[in-house]
Structures are given as structure tokens and as C-alpha cells.
Amino acid sequence: MLWRKNRQTSSPLHPISKASTTPFFLNVSPLHTLYGESYGAIEGGTPALFLHGGPGSGCHHGQKALFDPKTWRVIFFDQRGSGKSTPKTSIEENTTPLLIEDIEAIREHWAIESWVVVGGSWGATLALAYARAYPHRVRGMVLRGTFLARPEDTQWAFYDAPQLFRPDLWEQLCALTHSQTPIEKLMDDLSHDDPAIHQYAARLWGWCEQSLALLNPQTTTLPSINPQEPLTTPVPNTPYIESHYIRHDFFLKETPLLANTDPLRHMPIIMLCGRYDLLCPPRCSYALKNAIGDNCHVRLIEKAGHSTSDKPLQDALAHAITEASQWPVP
């Protein structure tokens, strides 16, 4: 009993306060309405923005445990086509520049002058793109598993890494898609009119990506299912949005993240990366660090992959966020 108490005391995570949550909806276009939540101390809390990954995954309740609700005032929101935002799965009017303007609309809605931006994976990509566009609104950033959205990063995450580290998974994917180029086949199927086809593709995509995200996945065997069978589990949303962004080079081809890092040089940046992150390997974080300079710090987390389901990475992220609460207002 004493061991369990000590274990809980040493955890960097915080109890989630339901009373500290204020839901909101924000219309950002005739088509898109964003769902979000303000969490924590509205009066006196350090403002923060949390950006989920994917693109397309949406925020979830457990992410609030990273923040002390007595210290922070955090804005969580589901990006276009994601989570509780509507229309769900929509790729229409869904681009990186529009997401950046959505963030500004949310900031203005809550009358926040500047905030700390926290993001993981694609959320880190969007955080960097936003901070570069509106540097005077960003006090600093805490990034996890940074994805730079270069062609070589997409090539690594969706082609090279699975073939190198999960060759059994890759062979199954080829067999189940009846293709030696399974990613292209899945992207084609995700845009198919037949729900049985695009939902099956989404499930394959989701299972594959989950296997790559974890340091020790429970299995690297893809379920062998009949596409015509009734669905017994929810269809993941991320593959639809993610494939759309991949097809368009994440809408950053004209403005690569490493092309102009001058706006980022004034702000503190902590980047956390699992040493065995197969999707966004440490070299991505170091490339950004070398481009920005001394204010950017990389922390490699042992015994961790890409996902915060790996406890060492989750704990390190919570510690970094607590540290960021002490950053001065610019």
C-alpha cells in the first residue's frame, strides 16, 4: 500500500479536474466548426495551446493530465475534420495555412495575448508553422516527436521504417492490399466511394501506424478481416486526413519548416524524442535544433518510441511542460 502511494506521489502527471473544463464551439468557415475546451485556471493561469497529432486524431481527455490545472490555462481543440469538430473526416478546406488561421481565431476568441504551444508529431509540425507565422504570439514551445514534413520524413515514416524495422508487418500489408506499393493503394482506397473499401483501408492504416508508434507493441500482426464483415470497432479518423495531407506535402512545399527559422530564434524550445522513435526519429529534432540555435534543446528519452503510451516519454513531457510554466512573458 505504501509503495503504491509513493508511486503516485512521484508521478509528474496531475489529477484531471472536471470542474476546470469549459467546452466551446467556434465557427471558422461556412463549412467548418471547431470543438475545443478551455482547461485549468482561467484567471491567472499561464496560457497554453495543445495541438494534437495525426493530422486527424483529435484531442482526448487523458492529455489534460500533462498540465497542472492550478498553474495552466490550456486550450485544447480538434482540428478541422477531427474529433468533435464538424464535418468530421472532411478534407475540404483543410490545409495547414487554414489551420494556422484557426489557431489565431481561437486565440482571439479567448483574448489571449501570447501562449506556450505544446504539440506532438504532426502537432509539433503545426506548432512550428504557427510560431513561424505568429512569433510574437508564442512564448515558447514544448514539442514531442517532431515531424518536419519533408519528403524524406514521409518516405522514412511510411516506407523505409516499416520495411527496415517491421518487415513482417510490411509483408502482411502488401499481402492484404494485394500490392507491392501498399501505401499508395491504401490512399487510393481511402478516397473510394464504397464505405466497405475505404473503411477497411482506414483500419489497415491505423493498425500499421499504431504498431510503428509503440516501442513494444502487443502485436505486429495485422488482423486478417473480410472487408464485407460488419464493423465491430470504430473506424479511425486519422488515415483520411493524414493521407490528404501526405498527397499535398502537408501544404508546406512552398514554405519548408527549415527554410526560415529566424522567427523562432527568440523563443525557448524543448524537443523530446524517444530514442527508438520509428516515425519521427531523433535526427529530425537535431536537424531543427541545428537550424534554430542555442535556445532549442533536444532531450532524448531512453526506452521510448513515438507514442506517449510509452511511460518514460509521457513523464518527460509532463516534466517539460511544468518547466515551461516558469518561462517569462516576452
Return the C-alpha cell found at 201.
Answer: 483501408
Neighbouring residues of 241: CB distance < 8 A, sequence distance ≥ 6? 54, 55, 56, 81, 82, 89, 91, 94
> Using the 8-state DSSP alphabet, how is residue 93 labeled?
T
**pLDDT tier for residue 2 given thresholds of 50, 70 and 90:** very low
Q: Are 235 and 107 in contact (CB under 8 A)?
A: no
Q: What is the pLDDT of residues 10-52, one digit of tens each?
A: 789 999 988 789 999 999 999 999 999 999 998 889 999 999 9
pLDDT confidence of residue 227? 60
Between the CA of residue 299 and those of 317, 318, 330, what are the distances in Å? 10, 13, 24
Residue among 108, 111, 112, 117 at smallest CA distance from 140: 117
Alpha-carbon distance 288 to 305, whole Å?
Answer: 19
**pLDDT tier for residue 7 given thresholds of 50, 70 and 90:** very low
Q: What is the pLDDT of residues 50-84, one digit of tens each?
A: 999 999 999 999 999 999 999 999 999 999 999 99
Q: What is the mean pLDDT of residues 281-292?
A: 97
* Beta bridge mates, 138: 115
Alpha-carbon distance 308 to 322, whole Å?
Answer: 16
pLDDT confidence of residue 109? 97
Q: Are 111 and 75 in contact (CB under 8 A)?
A: no
pLDDT confidence of residue 232? 66
Alpha-carbon distance 114 to 73, whole Å?
Answer: 12
pLDDT confidence of residue 8? 42
Q: Which residues are catalytic?
A: 121, 277, 306
Report whether pLDDT(184) > 70. yes
Neighbouring residues of 148: CB distance < 8 A, sequence distance ≥ 6? 125, 257, 258, 284, 287, 288
Q: What percent of the chain has pLDDT over 70?
A: 94
* DSSP letters spanning 19-59: GGEEEEEEE-SSS-EEEEEEEE-TTTPEEEEEE--TTTT--
